[in-house]
Structure 1
Amino acid sequence: MRKFFSLIAVISVLASCGRSDQGQLVGAQGKKWHPEKPLGMTLIPGGAFIMGKSDDDIAGLNNAPPKTVTVRSFYMDETEITNAEYRQFVNWVKDSVTRMKLAIFAEEIGETPGTGGIGEFAFADSEEADMTPYEQYMYNNYYSLGDYEGRKINKDVDLIWDTRDYPDEYYAEVMDTLYIPIEEAYNGQRSFDVNHLKFRYTWMDVSSAARAEPGKRADFIETEEIQIYPDTTVWIKDFNYSYNEPMHNDYFWHDAYSDYPVVGVSWKQARAFAQWRTLYHNSYRKSKGEHNVNSYRLPTEAEWEYAARGGLESATYPWGGPYTKNDRGCFMANFKPLRGDYAADQALYTVEAKSYEPNDYGLYNMAGNVAEWVFSSYDPASYEYSSSMNPSVNDESNMKKVVRGGSWKDVAYFLQVSSRDYEYADSARSYIGFRTVQDYLGTDLTLNQTR
């Protein structure tokens, strides 16, 4: 027995030789983390502020009493998400949906890469000879059983959109199912059926899981499948007896409006966009062997108001206030001034996302242009019971979601940084858009350090 323990001791000593820690507690070493400001975002330093109405509540809603709260540091989009940025999301989903349908059909008819035609679009893991051990295991236990979830689509070959260049009739058959029926086309134009543009993602309800009795992790994982194309009909439905057909026809897809804020997007679609942006960014970082970044998400109501104030205490508007004009008599935002003279602020509808002067945090149009979805649910009394540290009130069963900042069709009251409004999570409007945020990881940064 003594010989056995002696052998263990010798092995332990030998195992410690050659280590760089010299037997000291140095901590587990991982990849180096360097905070990286996401493109198009600005860092909002954490701090405390008085949230809510600092002046008289003119509307008498009593839903925003003053309250001192503190928020942590975060990145925020400098502008509202634009049509061009949202189109990148739409195009990615369109590409993925098309490749998946081609791959499934190729699998069903037994076509594989190298055979030409639709076989070139087969799943990337269709050739067993080229599989890694992990891919072989997944194929044997999941994929070969008819489950397409998790299959790797082939992105190395370009999709063919011109009907004259379709490689075979199988490819043509799949593409035909993705476009609107011939009988619904007009003026010789046959468009992609946007009903196919669905984005599926999963998320974990950490808040509920933390408060529940120990149970299965799967009980708190939610799956969402969202149709992501904006509702362009909002330009018609939001206004009765009004000619807005040009906005319906052109606003989202035409390059003339690329830098304008996307509208017609529901709260659920905005949330799906944030999930996709996280997936897209981390997919690139994974290919480079780098750390994942924190998730992109919608801002909480407190974060939005804190950022909108731009570090100004008790200000009425993002630029200070209490007036909507500067010293030269020019309006400071895009809204509905002078009893409905929409053109007085030099805009009839929306304006480009980077218009007017930014606030002191470098954020554009935190008042006016389009109102913005935030993560929080609307409850008139939420300020009374929410935490004073990173307050966030989101009830999944409450479909009323807060919108902030006012829009091109709102009066000045809704442009005030403390004004609250709401819309239903599954509704889309011609005057509601959004911007995203990302939690800051790194050395603690507060407003007092930046002054």
Structure 2
Amino acid sequence: MKKLLLSSIAFVFLLTSCGSKTKGELVGAQGKKWYPEKPYGMELIPRGSFIMGKSEEDQAKVLNAPTKTVTVRSFYMDDTEITNSEYRQFVEWVKDSITRTRLAILADELGIGPEDGGIGDYAFKDADTTRASVYDKYMLDNYSGMGETGYEGRALNKDEDLIWDTSEYPDEYYAEVMDSLYIPEEESYNGQRSIDVTKLKYKYSWMDIEAAARASKKGKGSRKDFIRHEELEIYPDTTVWIRDFEYSYNEPMHNDYFWHDAYSDYPVVGISWQQAKAFCNWRTKFKNDDQKSRGKQFVNQFRLPTEAEWEYAARGGIEGGTYPWGGPYVISDTGCFMANFKPQRGDYAADAALYTVEAKSYEPNDFNLYNMAGNVAEWTNSSYDPSAYDYVSTMNPNGGDQSNTRKVIRGGSWKDVAYFLQVSTRDYEYADSARSYIGFRTVQDYMGEEDSTQ
């Protein structure tokens, strides 16, 4: 028996030593290969230091941007503002998900599955136990009924195309669900019945890392205490075109600007800071869902830029420039305006644009970013405090006070005078507000260059 035991130990040792690829050396835990890609539609902004704030006279005498040398890390930034077309992709995804969820829930309540056809074709994937994975079955057995609705975590069937033509609805149950998504018949006119946009809500969770880090230092709180849950309507507020301007006829912009293909490449407006944050969360999820399907490592999150990142990117590497193109003038040598803004009192069209222009208009700055001045002002992740420059860090500075609902906007817009186009000018709006002259663009932290040998 003793000899048999020793033989077994020796055999196991032989297996572990001969089968080891490390040869007993400290080589580190081996994870997936990381092949970073340049995010689509983004430009790399290299790390660097710059003088943040107003190096020239502050004509408005606001005195909220004293000069300060700061350093920011490398990051990617959208080369244009997020367009109507890009934001519509978000809206369509939410509409699709809500529709499939409602169809799946009703199918589940009726006990109808794929084998029954009709609405059963849209049942939760785990409803077909012959196709459900071991994990799906485990989740159904152990977590069914948990959460706000009891259906959280169950996989939707996205293999079946949704049917929008009323003449092709497969059964009355499908018609019932679709009818619940549209505005009531009595509220429609001219024979047009539209989706009730108040039903288009995006729900997500995020971890308040800063609060968790500070609490852990004091030994307080558990992980769940710092998970924040958000749910909000994500359709742009198109009424801003009318509400922002009293005694002004802007009804055509209210009616057409967001949804019509003529404006697809124009910057989206009517978006609150909260909606912009939700878009960033969705964009991260949308990309990582694809990464997961291809067996690739997740990318890091898309987010709004900090105020310092925005100013650094807007300057385009030009030290002491007044505008993104550097010089102190808003008219070029050939007599053309360099951005979309209000150049003269009452004359919005002197720069060849009355409202917004296409996102890739005018010349980009030296980081190849378009409209960092004018067109639409842009949300940043930073909270506004007039004395922020006196206390924020000189490394990746950010005034990120969650309790402060005033959020910094930068760049000026089509309705602003030249002062607001200056790269150092600070302004703010409340996080839950939407305006016809505020949009946004996103950034992503840099994690290495693409491997050209692959």
Q: Distance in 2 between matches of 1:427 and 1:354?
A: 26
Q: Which runs of 5+ in 1 are unaligned?
A: 445-451
Structure 1, 128-137 or 203-212: larger mean CA deviation: 128-137
After the TM superposition, which residues 74-153 of structure 1 pair with which residues of structure 2 at under 5 Å, given as runs?
74-143=75-144, 147-153=150-156
Q: Give the C-alpha shift of residue 28 in structure 1.
A: 1.4
Structure 1, 260-269 or 337-346: larger mean CA deviation: 337-346
Q: Partner of 2:310: helix, strand, or coil?
A: helix
Task: Tell me what 2:315 maps to.
Answer: 309
Q: Which amino acid aligns with 1:47?
A: G
Q: Partner of 2:252: helix, strand, or coil?
A: helix
Aligned residue among 288, 301, 319 for 1:295: 301
Q: Distance in 1 between matches of 2:59 and 2:9?
A: 79
Query: Is 1:334 aligned with 2:340?
Result: yes
Task: Tell me what 1:438 maps to.
Answer: 444
Instruction: Tell me if the contact between 2:76 and 2:446 (Cα under 8 Å) persists in the aligned partners.
Output: yes
After the TM superposition, which residues 244-393 of structure 1 pair with which residues of structure 2 at under 5 Å, given as runs?
244-393=250-399
Aligned residue among 187, 193, 198 for 1:195: 198
Taking structure 2 as the reference length, what is the TM-score of the superposition? 0.95
Q: Give the C-alpha shift of residue 6 in structure 1.
A: 9.2
Q: Partner of 2:382: helix, strand, or coil?
A: strand
Task: Tell me what 2:245 maps to.
Answer: 239
Structure 1, 71-80 or 131-140: larger mean CA deviation: 131-140
Q: Which amino acid aligns with 1:366?
A: M
Query: Is 1:166 aligned with 2:166?
Result: no
Task: Tell me what 1:222 maps to.
Answer: 228
Q: Partner of 1:86: helix, strand, or coil?
A: helix
Q: Partner of 1:393: helix, strand, or coil?
A: coil
Q: Which amino acid aligns with 1:46?
A: R
Q: Which amino acid aligns with 1:195?
A: T
Task: Name the count of aligned residue pairs.
Answer: 444
Q: Which amino acid aligns with 2:199?
A: H
Q: Distance in 2 between matches of 1:340 and 1:366?
A: 23
Aligned residue among 171, 175, 179 for 2:178: 175
Q: Distance in 2 between matches of 1:401 and 1:304?
A: 13
Q: Partner of 2:106: helix, strand, or coil?
A: helix
Q: Give the C-alpha shift of residue 7 in structure 1.
A: 6.5
Structure 1, 157-166 or 123-132: larger mean CA deviation: 123-132
Q: Which amino acid aligns with 1:76?
A: M
Aligned residue among 182, 187, 192 for 1:184: 187
Instruction: Tell me if the contact between 2:304 and 2:379 (Cα under 8 Å) persists in the aligned partners.
Output: yes
Task: Tell me what 1:27 maps to.
Answer: 28
Q: Partner of 1:48: helix, strand, or coil?
A: strand
Q: Partner of 2:130: helix, strand, or coil?
A: helix
Q: Distance in 1 between matches of 2:224 and 2:37?
A: 33
Structure 1, 208-217 or 297-306: larger mean CA deviation: 208-217
Q: Partner of 2:115: helix, strand, or coil?
A: coil
Q: Give the C-alpha shift of residue 229 in structure 1.
A: 0.0
Query: Is 1:409 aligned with 2:409?
Result: no
Q: Which amino acid aligns with 2:185?
A: I
Q: Which runs of 5+ in 2 are unaligned?
A: none
Task: Tell me what 2:16 maps to.
Answer: 15
Q: Distance in 1 between matches of 2:370 and 2:235?
A: 25
Q: Distance in 2 between matches of 1:340 and 1:430?
A: 18
Q: Distance in 2 between matches of 1:70 and 1:9?
A: 58
Q: Give the C-alpha shift of residue 339 in structure 1.
A: 2.0
Q: Give the C-alpha shift of residue 13 in structure 1.
A: 4.6
Task: Tell me what 1:449 maps to.
Answer: none
Taking structure 1 as the reference length, what is the TM-score of the superposition? 0.96
Q: Partner of 1:241: helix, strand, or coil?
A: coil
Task: Tell me what 1:155 maps to.
Answer: 158
Identity of aligned residues (%): 70
Task: Tell me what 1:45 maps to.
Answer: 46
Q: Give the C-alpha shift of residue 144 in structure 1.
A: 5.6
Q: Partner of 1:223: helix, strand, or coil?
A: strand
Q: Distance in 2 between matches of 1:83 and 1:325?
A: 28
Q: Give the C-alpha shift of residue 190 in structure 1.
A: 0.6
Question: In 2 relative to 1, CA 197–9 (structure 1 residues): closer, same or farther, beyond 3 Å?
Answer: same
Instruction: Tell me if the contact between 2:206 and 2:229 (Cα under 8 Å) persists in the aligned partners.
Output: yes
Structure 1, 113-122 or 307-316: larger mean CA deviation: 113-122
RMSD of the TM alignment (CA)?
1.7
Task: Tell me what 1:448 maps to.
Answer: none
Q: Distance in 1 between matches of 2:68 and 2:197?
A: 44
Structure 1, 142-151 or 207-216: larger mean CA deviation: 142-151
Q: Give the C-alpha shift of residue 143 in structure 1.
A: 2.2
Q: Distance in 1 between matches of 2:301 and 2:7?
A: 51
Q: Give the C-alpha shift of residue 5 in structure 1.
A: 8.8
Q: Give the C-alpha shift of residue 19 in structure 1.
A: 1.9
Q: Distance in 2 between matches of 1:427 and 1:215?
A: 32
Question: In 2 relative to 1, CA 440–344 (structure 1 residues): closer, same or farther, beyond 3 Å?
Answer: same
Question: In 2 relative to 1, CA 241–359 (structure 1 residues): closer, same or farther, beyond 3 Å?
Answer: same
Q: Give the C-alpha shift of residue 117 in structure 1.
A: 1.1
Q: Once the two structures are superposed, what CA deviation does each residue of 1:400-438 show, in whole Å capped at 9, x if it has no partner?
A: 000000000000000000000000000000000000000
Instruction: Tell me if the contact between 2:125 and 2:132 (Cα under 8 Å) persists in the aligned partners.
Output: no
